[in-house]
Amino acid sequence: MKAHEIMVKEVYKVKASDTVRDVVERFIEHRISGLPVVNDRNEIVGYVSDGDIMRYIGKHHDLIVDIVYYSAVFKGDDVEFEARAKELLDLNVMEIARKKVMKAAWDEDIESIAATLGNKKIKKLPVERNGVLAGIISRGNVIRETFRSLL
């Protein structure tokens, strides 16, 4: 079985010119946790996930702890923390997106895709055909297609 046989063809994505706000809005609207980032030619230039947002917040942990402590002790509110969160939302997506993206080829075997998803501990792989985004494959897609006929 090949990637194009199991992939989801309708892919939620963001453009490289979008903001983290656009990403979070799509996460909430579509109940997803990761998106390919594409340029104007629909070429995959990055991937952004909820983990990337968490890593960004974690990278600024000391600042956030100080802000929360200061707000709680001296102000009684989270005005400073909200300002920091708003700053994150206004960043360009490429500031937090991974630029080295694991991808599946259009005609890649399901066994190879399963190995990549399992060994690299990632949840989804964008599928590329002729250099552009063609679909996306999740762990769930692989499991459903692998075991559908065996149950």
Q: Reduced to 3 states, what is the DSSP secondary structure of residue 127?
A: strand
Q: Smallest Cα–Cα separation from 93: which of 44, 128, 138?
A: 44
Residue carrying the six token digits 């499991």: 143
What is the structure's pLDDT at 54? 81
What is the structure's pLDDT at 71? 47
The yes-or-no verdict on residue 142 having pLDDT over 50 is yes
Mean pLDDT of 83-111: 91
CATH class in words for 3-150: alpha beta
The yes-or-no verdict on residue 68 having pLDDT over 80 is no
Q: Residue by residue, what is the 3-state secondary structure of 18-75? A: CEHHHHHHHHHHHCCCEEEEECCCCCEEEEEEHHHHHHHHHHCHHHHHHHHHHHHHHH
Residue carrying the six token digits 């609207």: 29
Residue 76: C-alpha distances to residues 81, 85, 113 (Å): 12, 18, 50
Q: Smallest Cα–Cα separation from 124: which of 134, 112, 136, 132?
A: 136
Q: What average pLDDT does the chain have? A: 86
How many percent of the chain have pLDDT more than 90?
68
Confidence (pTM) = 0.81
Residue ranges per structural domain of the chain: 3-150
Q: 29 or 69: which carries more pLDDT confidence?
A: 29
